[in-house]
A = this chain, B = another copy of it.
Amino acid sequence: MTETRNKLLMIGAKYVHQKGFNNTGLQEILKEANVPKGSFYFYFKSKEQFGLEIIDVFLSFFEKEIGGVLSDKSISGLNRIRNFLKTTMKELENANYTGGCPIGNLSLEMGDLNENFRVKLSQAFTNMEFKLIESLKDAQSVGEISQSIDIETVAGFILNSWEGALVRVKAEKSIRPLAILEEIIFAKILIK
Contact residues of A with B, CB < 8 Å? 18-20, 22-23, 98-100, 104-105, 107-109, 111-113, 118, 121-122, 125, 153-154, 156-157, 159-168, 170-173, 176-177, 180-181, 183-184, 188-189
Q: A22-B22, A108-B109, A112-B98 are in contact. Are A118 and B184 (CB under 8 A)?
A: no
- Chain B nearest CB, measured from A7 CB (Å): 24
B171→A156 contact, CB < 8 A: no
Q: Which interface residue of A121, A167, A176, A180 has the most chain B CB atoms within 10 A?
A: A167
Q: Given A109-B108, A121-B171, A171-B121, do A177 and B160 touch, yes or no (CB 8 Å)?
A: yes
In the complex, the count of this chain's copies comes to 2
Within 8 Å CB of A20, what residues of B? 20, 22, 109
